[in-house]
């Protein structure tokens, strides 16, 4: 338990707490009822968004990071405002996962005739307050339920949603958006955003890799001391669990994605596109059941590459039949201004050698809001969990600063 971590030597307790809390979170997810649930009349047999997932966004506090993300806010605001005349004036709009109601309010201000703001988490209790504060109660209808279960009085012209998660698809909220599209969007209707891409590039992380290996070695040294003490005092053979404990630390470093700002200076080649989607036609399988091959330039012999950095971008360009007056892009790459999504980094035990890589993605079978990403090349393969855990950003920044210092020396 996390409480037991406080008895460890200085420098180990924080690490212990992190691992313990991650294990506790995984146990909580595993206990969630995951049987697929169908809403009346729904055409999908996909599981509904779980209460565990919805709890991630149930408080106003949970939305502050998104509201503070000015790249995110500007992209949605500009996309709606600059295309008000062609896509919103006099139209019916559905906001999927409305959160604090911001997109619904902007759609109404852009001239929409009716806006349906759908939000199943606890924060939905505050949307009506926001709507009334902006004088839009006659235009915005708040529906506090899962979009899979909602019944609208009419088809809609536009669907707006901020559905993107880490590595584009973590959270699986896009499932709800696709279902809403298939059920409620008029033929020729418009999706906001209209297009999405997932990209990947190699990175050099020598200090980051060394730090992870040192942490594992330090944790195992502390374990051996604890095991020796317990055996001396109580004849307990804790060493019987040593291999399993070391495996836990290893998995934490090399089998879970690192989520944080990765400075562009740590990238070592141009990105490759893993996935490109038109939101008007993309299917669930195209998002969550795929593999693709990519290849990067061979690394320099004196600079092994132990990282793969992933990010996404989305565009608001309308549909083929109703193109936007002005396209707007939201870019989460290391080259762009930082966003609350940051980037997703996969730490490799084996360095890249320029051989082709096969990258595959699927939803986690136990908690469908998380992702499983597999990278393979020739005789080796590595799998990663992409979860809600945000970690690694400070270390990446330190590595970039150290690299700049060496170049300037």
State the residue for tokens 């990663």: 384
Q: Residue 409: its pLDDT value, please? A: 55
Q: What is the pairing mode between strands 114-118 and 92-96?
A: parallel
The tens digit of pLDDT for each residue in 34-67 reads 333 333 333 457 889 999 999 999 999 999 999 9
| The token pair that represents 82 in the structure block | 């600059």
Residues designated catalytic? 162, 171
Cα angle at 36 between 59 and 164, to 5 degrees? 45
| Residues 231, 233, 235, 236, CA torsion sign | negative
Q: Residue 38: its pLDDT value, please? A: 35
Q: In tens digits, what is the pLDDT along the chain, a chain of 409 residues?
A: 333 343 333 344 444 444 444 433 443 333 333 333 333 333 457 889 999 999 999 999 999 999 999 999 999 999 999 999 999 999 999 999 999 999 999 999 999 999 999 999 999 999 999 999 999 999 999 999 999 999 999 999 999 999 999 999 999 999 999 999 999 999 999 999 999 999 999 999 999 999 999 999 999 999 999 999 999 999 999 999 999 999 999 999 999 999 999 999 999 999 999 999 999 999 999 999 999 999 999 999 889 999 999 999 999 999 999 999 999 999 999 999 999 999 999 999 999 999 999 999 999 999 999 999 999 998 899 999 999 999 887 888 888 888 776 766 5
Q: Residue 135: its pLDDT value, please? A: 98
What is this structure's pTM? Answer: 0.87
Rounded CA-CA distance 277/286 in Å is 8
Q: Residue 217: its pLDDT value, please? A: 97
Rounded CA-CA distance 273/158 in Å is 27
Q: Residue 332: its pLDDT value, please? A: 98
The tens digit of pLDDT for each residue in 75-122 reads 999 999 999 999 999 999 999 999 999 999 999 999 999 999 999 999
Rounded CA-CA distance 327/165 in Å is 22
CA dist list (Å): 275 to 204, 262, 285, 357: 23, 21, 12, 15
What is the DSSP secondary structure assignment for residue 408, as one 8-state letter? H
Rounded CA-CA distance 295/274 in Å is 11
Q: Residue 395: its pLDDT value, please? A: 85
Q: Residue 46: its pLDDT value, please? A: 81
Sequence-distant (6+) residues with CB within 8 A of 242 are 220, 223, 224, 227
Cβ count near 366 (within 10 Å): 12
β-bridge partners, 309: 201, 345
| The token pair that represents 5 in the structure block | 């971590």
- DSSP-derived 3-state class of residue 98: coil
Cα angle at 264 between 263 and 269, to 5 degrees? 140
Phi, psi of 160 (to 5 degrees): -110, 145
Q: Residue 241: its pLDDT value, please? A: 98
């Amino acid at each position: 338990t996390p409480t037991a971590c406080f008895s460890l030597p200085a420098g180990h307790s924080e690490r212990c707490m992190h691992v313990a809390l991650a294990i506790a979170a995984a146990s909580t997810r595993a206990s969630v009822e995951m049987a697929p649930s169908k809403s009346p009349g729904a055409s999908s047999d996909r599981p509904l968004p779980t209460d565990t997932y919805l709890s991630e966004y149930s408080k106003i506090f949970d939305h502050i990071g998104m509201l503070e993300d000015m790249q995110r806010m500007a992209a949605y605001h500009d996309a709606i405002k600059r295309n008000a005349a062609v896509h919103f004036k006099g139209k019916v709009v559905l906001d999927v996962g409305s959160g604090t109601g911001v997109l619904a309010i902007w759609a109404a201000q852009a001239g929409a005739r009716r806006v349906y703001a759908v939000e199943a988490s606890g924060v939905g209790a505050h949307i009506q307050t926001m709507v009334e504060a902006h004088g839009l109660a006659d235009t915005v209808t708040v529906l506090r339920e899962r979009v899979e279960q909602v019944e609208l009085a009419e088809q809609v012209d536009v669907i707006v949603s901020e559905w993107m998660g880490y590595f584009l698809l973590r959270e699986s909220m896009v499932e709800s958006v696709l279902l809403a599209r298939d059920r409620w969007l008029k033929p020729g209707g418009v999706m906001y955003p209209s297009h999405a891409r997932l990209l990947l590039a190699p990175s050099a992380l020598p200090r980051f890799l060394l730090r992870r290996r040192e942490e594992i070695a330090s944790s195992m040294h502390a374990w051996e001391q604890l095991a020796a003490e317990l055996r001396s005092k109580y004849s307990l053979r804790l060493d019987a669990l040593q291999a399993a404990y070391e495996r836990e630390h290893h998995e934490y470093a090399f089998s879970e994605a690192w989520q944080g700002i990765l400075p562009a200076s740590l990238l070592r080649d141009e990105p490759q596109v893993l996935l490109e989607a038109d939101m008007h036609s993309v299917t669930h399988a195209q998002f969550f059941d795929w593999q693709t091959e990519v290849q990067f330039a061979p690394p320099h012999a004196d600079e092994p590459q132990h990282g793969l950095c992933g990010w996404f971008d989305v565009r608001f360009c309308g549909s083929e039949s109703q193109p936007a007056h002005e396209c707007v892009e939201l870019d989460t790459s290391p080259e762009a201004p930082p966003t609350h999504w940051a980037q997703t980094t996969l730490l490799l035990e084996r360095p890249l050698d320029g051989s082709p890589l096969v990258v595959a993605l699927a939803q986690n079978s136990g908690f469908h809001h998380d992702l499983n990403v597999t990278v393979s090349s020739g005789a080796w393969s590595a799998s990663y969990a992409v979860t809600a855990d945000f970690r690694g950003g400070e270390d990446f920044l330190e590595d970039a600063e150290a690299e700049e210092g060496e170049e300037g020396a």
